[in-house]
Structure 1
Amino acid sequence: MSDFDTIKSQYLRQIRQQLKDVVKSVASLDRSISEAVSVSEDFKEVADIWKNFYDPTLLDKLGEEYGKKKEEGNDDVNDEEDK
């Protein structure tokens, strides 16, 4: 076998090994991305459940109504504060 063939074989082995490493790394990255997507889907479910208990737009609206009633001097608002 000539020197050229020997060096060629070494390079081909190195390339083959490096390609295997790349494929292994891509597979690992794919698993990590899949896990991240799965976790984010779980958080979406939690967020949907949380929306049943907490609606910031509703709280803002109620706060505005409370402020208006208080400015108008509504007795019901003052009575509720005393409780």
Structure 2
Amino acid sequence: MELLEAVSRARQTGLADVAKEELFKALASSKPTDDRDDTANAREARRQARLRALAPSSGIWDGDPDKPKDGVAYQEEMRAEWS
């Protein structure tokens, strides 16, 4: 996380942009070279790598007790006001 924040400051861009770019790099380098490499274990390893890459970018409401934890529930609540 500290490395991503340092890169973000150096590039003068948002942390989410840097995290997204690094995630895409990690995903591109983890693609199997052929179908034989696409075992259940390999798929699970790639899934875990994606989750580790995404964990630091949990959103702008992270840690704010006044904001909803469930985005879908919040969206439905907001839309209910329109009807």
- TM-score normalised over the length of structure 1: 0.29
Larger Rg: 1
If asked which structure has higher relative contact order (CA below 8 Å, sep 6+), I would say: 2
